[in-house]
């Protein structure tokens, strides 16, 4: 009985945190928004590195793909 009460309280606390924006629930996974921001920063750093490599290797096609906003989603 106590376990059921605890589970219900935890579920409600998570629901409230998601509703207030303190947590993000996506595909059943609960994430901290800071984690998502960190992943986005790492992805951008990797993209910048690839742009630098394309410039260093004179790879015009890769450079254009990485800097063209219409293809940004295709690259991921």
Q: CA angle at residue 73 from 23 to 71, to 5 degrees?
A: 155
> How far separated are the first and last CA of the chain, in Å rounded?
47
Give CA 23 to chain center in angstroms: 13
pTM, full prediction = 0.59
Range(s) of the domain holding residue 64: 32-76
Q: Report the pLDDT averaged over residues 41-61.
A: 95
Considering the domain architecture, whether residues 38 and 58 belong to the same structural domain is answered as yes
Q: What is the pLDDT of residue 68?
A: 84
Residue 71 pLDDT: 52
Structure confidence by residue, pLDDT tens digits, 24-41 = 988 989 999 999 999 999
Instruction: Output the pLDDT for position 28.
Output: 86
Pair 22, 57 in one domain: no
Domain count, the chain: 2
* Same domain assignment for residues 71 and 44: yes
Q: Is the pLDDT of residue 10 over 60?
A: yes
């Amino acid at each position: 009985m106590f376990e059921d009460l605890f589970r219900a309280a935890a579920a409600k606390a998570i629901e409230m945190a998601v509703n207030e924006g303190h947590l993000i629930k996506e595909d059943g996974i609960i994430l901290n928004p800071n984690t998502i921001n960190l992943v986005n920063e790492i992805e951008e750093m990797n993209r910048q590195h690839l742009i630098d490599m394309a410039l260093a290797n004179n790879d015009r096609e890769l450079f254009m793909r990485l800097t063209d906003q219409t293809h940004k989603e295709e690259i991921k």
